Amino acid sequence: MRESTIKEAFVGSRQDESEIWRLLLQCGAESTADVASRPTPPDATVVDFALDERAPLNDEEYWTTLATFRNVFDDRSPTHIFVREIGACNEPFNYFLERIATSGKRVPSERLYSFAKELDNLGFAPLDLWLAPRFQDASVRIFSLLFGRLGLWASKISPKDELRRFLPTLLPTEVFESSADEQKATRAWREGTDDERVAVLAQLRRRDPARARELLSEDWKNLKKPGVKENCLKELLVGLSESDLEFLEGLEKKTRDPFTLVILRDLLARIPTSKRAQTTFERAEAFLKNPDALNALGTTEEERARFNYESPDGRSLRAAFLALGRVPLARWEEVLAASPKEIRARLLDAQELPTFSAAQLRSFALFGASDEWFEVCCESFADVFREEPYEKRYRTWSLLYLTNPLVHHAVERFLFAALKTGRVDYFQRLRAIWNEKERVFGTRLSFEYRLLQKAIQYAPYPWSEEQARLFCDMLLEQIASPERKIPQDAKAIFAPGGSPSDEELDRRRRLFAYVLAYAPRAVREERRDFLAKGIDAFTPDEGLVKLCLDACAWRERFDRLFGSPENEVRSSI
């Protein structure tokens, strides 16, 4: 439309009726002509997106690449099952991504859907990554690897903040790799969310520990949300050295929060030249040499109540427990000049045996120890949970170990080494001790679910039949129990946070199907038959049966294509 026509109609300069009508008709005619002769100016930005840098795999290569999953099956535990659940994604998943990357090609885009479904069947997340916007942010690397630059775009569009915390685990390579990114990292630290800050700190700490420390000290006062300070401090564990000493000691003086203090002192105890390390060792040595010294610390009710706080003078039962726990078990052996079993025998008569036992567990979880200590720690575990008053006191700490990312590798070695082939009975024993003490059914269930998650995650793969059966049974109990076992009034105290929601149940169902898919063939067939018939009083719902049958059918198809791993020599971690 001509500018003059628009101006004339816009201002309303014509007054004569016929003139006005002519102007309107002119507008109509010019507008139609405009639309009809619409120019489509070429867009310059299109040139920037010339794709694709990698060629797609052909059919044969595609199937061969898919076969790389066999390595995941054979060598590693199916940890990736938990990607969607707890964000834990470690070696196997990255390994698989690397395999695709090193092939120098990408998955053909037309196979995107079917490939994503295959991955989904394996417990990997890309179907979610593709379909659910909430996963898109975490998928930058995965998409660029699987689907080339096109995938990279897709993954970058409309990201959500909620999964930002998965980035450090999903993307182990540094995002801010060079010093050129320094400014970017500083900006991200200053303007990012708390989780982003932790991620930035983790990356910086690996590359430039001093800079990370500097950033943290600058902003220490502004980290006010609960847990943020702790999470930041935990990142300092990487590359901890004497240069951090001054900074940590300065913080220790300023900090009043007991939870932050515990982590700070844990870190300080790891620096041998620190004053804290020296006093800790001296105090622990004194208690180890004279176990009865502990008796004086926790005699009255008031003192027992004070257990939750570490007294400034260090003369409390809790301080003693922490001091002992901060000393590696190897040092215990040096001080007492005895083997683990002898140490255990010596401490058996001590009045405060559970305190020593709990300290042993804590030390084992923090620093790890030899296999010989494992036997002793199993017995210590029983000690801690045998005595009612002690059990209440130390349970919080035991649970803390299980959920604390700082120590989970050590915990899995302690608790789940029992799950090695032939040691299922040991695990059952620990489980029995726990079950005996934990009378609230819901709490027991939720604890067991956590145990189970860790067990599936860290147990060496392939699982033995015994292990697979244990996992299946424990999971079925999880699925069946809310309807079957819990009386109505007990649901009110179903902790934590009431009875498992439908979503939680669904998650357990799905996990069960995955476990079935990864279980040895004999167990798979056995459990499948059970499911079809119904087990005891528990009649599985059709959804679960369908899910499991699908998983089994898929596994059989996979085995037909690539051969069954059970025919080959088992590898171990």
Residues in contact with other proteins by CB under 8 A are 1, 5-6, 9-15, 17, 20-21, 23-32, 34-38, 40, 42-47, 49, 51-52, 109-110, 112-113, 130, 137, 147, 150, 153-154, 156-159, 184, 187-188, 502-503, 506, 541-543, 546
Report DSSP letters for 126-191, one per residue. HHHHHH-GGGGGGGHHHHHHHHHHHHHHHHHSS--GGGGGGHHHH--S-SS-SGGGHHHHHHHHHH
What's the closest the beta carbon of residue 26 comes to other proteins, in angstroms? Answer: 7
What's the closest the beta carbon of residue 244 comes to other proteins, in angstroms? Answer: 29
Cross-strand bridge partners of residue 56: 106
What's the closest the beta carbon of residue 490 comes to other proteins, in angstroms? Answer: 18
If you search the block for the tokens 């990554």, which residue do you land on? Answer: 129
> Which residue lies nearer to other proteins by CB, 497 or 543?
543
Identify the DSSP state of 79.
Answer: G
Residue 459 φ/ψ region, left for φ over 0, alpha for ψ in the -120 to 50 degree band, beta for the rest: beta
> Which residue lies nearer to other proteins by CB, 167 or 245?
167
Measured distance CA(2)–CA(33) in Å, rounded: 11
Nearest Cα to 236, choosing from 259, 265, 258, 257? 265
Using N-to-C axis directions, what is the helix angle for 275-289 and 329-336, rounded to 10°? 50
What's the closest the beta carbon of residue 25 comes to other proteins, in angstroms? Answer: 5
Report DSSP letters for 443-509, one per residue. HHHHHHHHHHHHHHHHS-SSPPHHHHHHHHHHHHHHHHHHHHT--GGGGGG-TTTSSPPHHHHHHHH
Measured distance CA(418)–CA(481) in Å, rounded: 25
What's the closest the beta carbon of residue 231 comes to other proteins, in angstroms? Answer: 21
Residues 6+ apart with CB under 8 A from 140: 152, 155, 156, 171
What's the closest the beta carbon of residue 36 comes to other proteins, in angstroms? Answer: 3
> Which residue lies nearer to other proteins by CB, 184 or 289?
184
What's the closest the beta carbon of residue 55 comes to other proteins, in angstroms? Answer: 12
> Which residue lies nearer to other proteins by CB, 15 or 173?
15
> Which residue lies nearer to other proteins by CB, 189 or 390?
189
> Which residue lies nearer to other proteins by CB, 129 or 245?
129
CB 248 within 8 Å of CB 264: yes
What's the closest the beta carbon of residue 111 comes to other proteins, in angstroms? Answer: 10
Three-state DSSP at 549 gives: helix
The contacts found for 411-414 with CB under 8 angstroms, 24 or more apart, are 411/365, 411/454, 412/454, 412/457, 412/458, 413/368, 413/374, 414/361, 414/364, 414/365, 414/374, 414/377
> Which residue lies nearer to other proteins by CB, 47 or 569?
47
Nearest Cα to 547, choosing from 523, 512, 519? 512
Measured distance CA(391)–CA(393) in Å, rounded: 5
What's the closest the beta carbon of residue 464 comes to other proteins, in angstroms? Answer: 34
> Which residue lies nearer to other proteins by CB, 182 or 387?
182
> Which residue lies nearer to other proteins by CB, 90 or 136?
136
> Which residue lies nearer to other proteins by CB, 20 or 228?
20
Residue 536 φ/ψ region, left for φ over 0, alpha for ψ in the -120 to 50 degree band, beta for the rest: left
Residues 6+ apart with CB under 8 A from 254: 220
Structure tokens at 275: 């004053």
> Which residue lies nearer to other proteins by CB, 183 or 222?
183
What's the closest the beta carbon of residue 356 comes to other proteins, in angstroms? Answer: 48
What's the closest the beta carbon of residue 537 comes to other proteins, in angstroms? Answer: 18
